[in-house]
Chain A
């Protein structure tokens, strides 16, 4: 019973945080809402017997990815992009969204799911055994993808912006005169050459 009360409280916090992510005026506030959403989702996962994943979510997402988002928002002027928030568009967006949500809720509540009573308590050992036993190939592929992502994230911002050509830029047309030039040179004497090299 106490579990249910905690679940509903945390769920409402999650939904509120999600609302702030979508409707916040400034991107920094949206990121703060996102941090709250991830924290409350981690709490939910603890209630659902996934303690290890909850810790991973807090460390990886709140600790790393959200900081990345913060840096990007501060480095770019993300808030100068004004979206046209006309009332007509809001209504057009709200009606299908609400219909979609209603449909999802109806479908999920009408379906009968196989539920094992009491749930299951997993420890980290079981997750490790599955990761490095049954799913070893997927783990290797995930490791390679992470490596590729690291290299891409380091190398991509290093690309220098291409120099733009001016509009009135006219390339110099090559002709016979400036492509080839005959130069008359004196042939030095052999003895003089030897003397210079000796010096």
Chain B
């Protein structure tokens, strides 16, 4: 029997690394999206752990929806990155300042 709190500690570690990665790679669009995926994975692990320990199927259903939305989000995000790269020849967020100028 796996202790629930151990799983929560693991997902906390993943979440913290994800947020630190978002701050570290705040200039690189692709790496930033990957770190967001890490954060979502941590959330999903939490949902599955609680679903197991509370014997409730709802947690797994919510993981299903989160996976759907995350896949859609990354597909649209990557399409946007490709479009931006064609226009500006870079994925550097500091150079994408068109709206400010």
Is the CB–CB distance between A97 and B20 below 8 Å?
Answer: yes
Which of chain B's residues has its CB closest to A161's CB? B87
Complex contact A69–B34 (CB within 8 A): yes
Q: By the criterion CB–CB under 8 Å, are A130 and B92 in contact?
A: no
Nearest-neighbour CB distance to chain A for B101, whole angstroms, equals: 14
The 6 closest A-B pairs by CB, nearest first: A120-B55, A149-B72, A104-B12, A22-B21, A156-B79, A108-B8
CA distance A170 to B63 in the complex (A): 57
Residues from chain A with a CB closer than 8 A to the CB of B76 are 149, 152-153, 156
Residue contact A78 to B91, C-beta cutoff 8 Å? yes
Interface size on A, residues (CB 8 A): 81
Task: Decide if B57 touches A18 in the complex (CB within 8 Å).
Answer: no
* Chain A residues positioned under 8 Å from B29 (CB to CB): 78
Q: Are B45 and A44 in contact (CB under 8 A)?
A: yes
Q: Is B2 located at the chain interface by the 8 A CB criterion? A: yes
State the Cβ distance, B67 to closest chain A Cβ, in Å.
Answer: 6
Main secondary structure of the interface of B (DSSP, over half): helix
How many angstroms between the C-alpha atoms of A159 and B83 in the bound complex?
Answer: 7
Contact B90 A81 (CB under 8 A): yes
Say which residue of B12, B33, B55 sits within 8 Å of A116 (CB atoms). B55
Known: A60-B71, A83-B28. A19 touches B12 (CB 8 A): no
Report A-chain residues with C-beta under 8 Å of the C-beta of B56: 120
Report how far A158 CA is from B23 CA in the complex, Å. 31
Inter-subunit contact B72/A146 (CB<8 Å): yes
**Contact among A4, A69, A81 for B27, CB-based, below 8 A:** A81
Give chain B nearest CB distance to A128 CB in angstroms.
Answer: 10
Besides the contacts A19-B17, A116-B54, what 14 more A-B pairs have beta carbons closer than 8 Å?
A7-B2, A18-B13, A21-B38, A37-B41, A44-B7, A50-B52, A76-B30, A76-B85, A113-B5, A115-B53, A131-B61, A146-B68, A149-B76, A157-B79
Known: A53-B63, A115-B53, A130-B61. A47 touches B2 (CB 8 A): yes
Bound: A181/B59 CA distance, A = 75
Residues of A close to B38: CB separation below 8 A = 18, 21-22, 34, 37
Task: Kindly identify, within residues 5 to 23 of chain A, every residue whose CB is under 8 Å from any CB belonging to chain B.
Answer: 7-8, 11, 14-15, 18-19, 21-22
The 23 listed contacts between A and B (C-beta, < 8 Å) are A3-B1, A21-B21, A30-B34, A41-B44, A44-B48, A45-B48, A48-B51, A61-B71, A76-B81, A77-B90, A78-B91, A83-B27, A94-B20, A97-B16, A97-B20, A104-B16, A115-B4, A119-B1, A130-B58, A152-B75, A153-B79, A157-B83, A159-B83
Contacts of A104 in B (CB 8 A): 12, 15-16
Whether the pair B82, A76 counts as a contact (CB closer than 8 A) is yes
Q: Complex Cα distance A50/B4, Å? A: 15
Mask of A75-110 contacts with B, CB within 8 angstroms, 1/0 = 111101101000000000110010011001100110
